[in-house]
Amino acid sequence: MNHLFKKIALTSAPIISGAFVFVSCEQTVVVQEEQEKTYKLFLTTPEWGDVENIKTTLQQQLNNKLVELKSKAKVEIKFTNDTDYATLKENLNKQEADFAFISSGSIYDGRNQKQDLDKLNLKLQSLTRKLKGSDPEAKYQENNNPLFASASNQETYFKAIPWSEQWNDKANGNSWNGAIYTNFYEMNNYVPYQRGLIAIVANEQMTQDIIQAWNNKDLASFIKFGIGIGKSDSGSKYLLPQALFKKHFNKAGQEFLSFDEIRTNTKKYPQATLKQAKFTESQLEKNNDLHIFFANEGEYTWTKFKDSKQYAFAVNNSNPGRTGQKITFLTVTDVLPYNIGVFSKNVSDKHANDISEALIKLASENKDPWGPSVGFNSYKIINDSKTEFWDVVKNTLGE
């Protein structure tokens, strides 16, 4: 009722309030007039800057753009510290929110809840800057794996300057701009995906043993070195590594099935250690038994160096369990779409398009005060969620 519709009849129709009626000798066409409506946008709280000012500016600029687009949609911004995408998805389903960005992993995690997904409109693909050394076309291959090459290239950039206060230096460091270290990026080249990174934290001999176990597709040997994984709905830290393991560890009789099977089948994998642990916390003593970590590709590029994070991406040699160890990038994973802008079915198609276009225009004019602070540098319309989202997910995750 909030969007344009047409009703065609063979007989005349009564006048309808708020509608235009066109009558011909053959048919009557009733066109519902577009109504003004305000929609609630739930967005992640910015990671830097004056939060209230960003909120006010974004809301004003979006509404100004909607006026320019001659839209009768208006927006009201609400920032939330709740980064639980399942909660945001629930808010949309209950129509407590009209729009939110949701991770691909969370959407995928709810794929079997078709009734809930049918209530949502996957409309806006967020874009992020391309990392130097990465190959957008790289996909897993049995031999001459380009995912290895991307990881190796990124490790070279990562290690050019040791993780330290120098990273923050604009002239002689990695040029922190308030949100990211710009030296790691092709600043005007955007991609619609994210990847995971599998990193090794070990001494030289153990590093070589881990790489050999990977190259030999020896799953039992590989997992005995201990793996730090993410939550089950995490794209980069769970779903993507799991999909890569399924493609890679495929020896007959030794096939990898899932991380759940490794955790629960202690008879088959008696030496396996899998537990939730962040790559940035690899130097904590409680994680000394872990030497393989799942991370977001390039997460060091948006983590600002400070004293409290001096060992986020460096070895703490004062920790006896880490003395003499080093960080090695083993491989990146296949791709998963970056966060998706999702509308509830309470938003008409026209208004969803208008709000999406308004965000795209702000980003293209470098006037988006919010997106860059959460890693969104641009956006594009999703015209067909099957080919642009679900098929990409299926090609990577195989389901």
Per-domain boundaries in the chain: 37-130+337-397, 140-332
Written as one letter, the residue type at 339 is N
Give the residue-averaged pLDDT of 277-296.
98
User: CB–CB of 77/55 below 8 Å?
Assistant: yes
| Nearest Cα to Cα of residue 375 among 43, 6, 144 | 43
- The whole-model pTM stands at 0.85
pLDDT digits (tens, 9 = 90+) for 367-383: 999 999 899 999 999 99
| pLDDT tier for residue 82 given thresholds of 50, 70 and 90 | confident
- HSE-up (13 A, CA, CB side) for residue 9: 11
| Beta pairing class for 99-102 and 37-44 | parallel
Whether the predicted pLDDT of 12 surpasses 70: no
Model pLDDT, residue 89: 82
Q: Provide CATH code, domain 37-130+337-397.
A: 3.40.190.180
| DSSP letter (8 states) at residue 308 | G
Q: What is the pLDDT of residue 16?
A: 38
- What span, in angstroms and rounded, lies between the C-alpha atoms of 59 and 100? 14
Q: Which residues contact 177 (CB under 8 A, 6 or more apart)?
A: none
* Identical topology for domains 37-130+337-397 and 140-332: yes
Condensed to tens digits (0 to 9), the pLDDT of residues 327-364 reads: 999 999 999 999 999 999 999 999 999 999 999 999 99
Q: Does domain 140-332 have CATH number 3.40.190.190?
A: yes
Provide the 3-class DSSP secondary structure of residue 129. Answer: strand
pLDDT above 80: residue 1? no
- Sort 343 into a burial class: Cβ within 10 Å, 0-12 / 13-18 / 19+: buried
Lowest average pLDDT, out of 116-130, 154-168, 270-284, 292-306, goes to 116-130
Q: How far apart are CA 160 and CA 177, in angstroms?
A: 19
Task: Answer yes or no: is pLDDT of 66 > 50.
Answer: yes
The pLDDT score that the predictor gives to residue 27 is 58
Say if CB 106 and CB 395 are below 8 A apart: no
- Point out which residues pair with 17 in neighbouring strands: none
What is the rounded distance in angstroms from the CA atom of residue 182 to the CA atom of residue 165?
15
Identify residue 360 by its one-letter amino acid code: I
With bands split at pLDDT 50, 70 and 90, how would you rate the model's confidence at 13? very low
Q: Is residue 111 predicted with pLDDT exceeding 60?
A: yes
46 near 370, Cβ under 8 Å?
Answer: yes
Answer yes or no: is pLDDT of 276 > 50. Answer: yes
pLDDT confidence bin for 18, thresholds 50/70/90:
very low
Beta bridge partners of 275: 228
> What's the pLDDT band for 196 if we cut at 50, 70, 90?
very high
Q: Looking at the DSSP assignment, which residues form a beta bridge with residue 9? A: 28
Question: What confidence score (pLDDT) does residue 106 get?
Answer: 82
Amino acid in position 112:
N
Q: Are strands 340-344 and 99-102 parallel, antiparallel or unpaired?
A: antiparallel
Q: Is the pLDDT of residue 15 over 50?
A: no
CA distances from 226 to 200, 201, 293, 324, 327 (A): 10, 10, 9, 18, 15
Partners of residue 76 on adjacent β-strands: 40
Identify the three-state secondary structure at position 22. Answer: strand
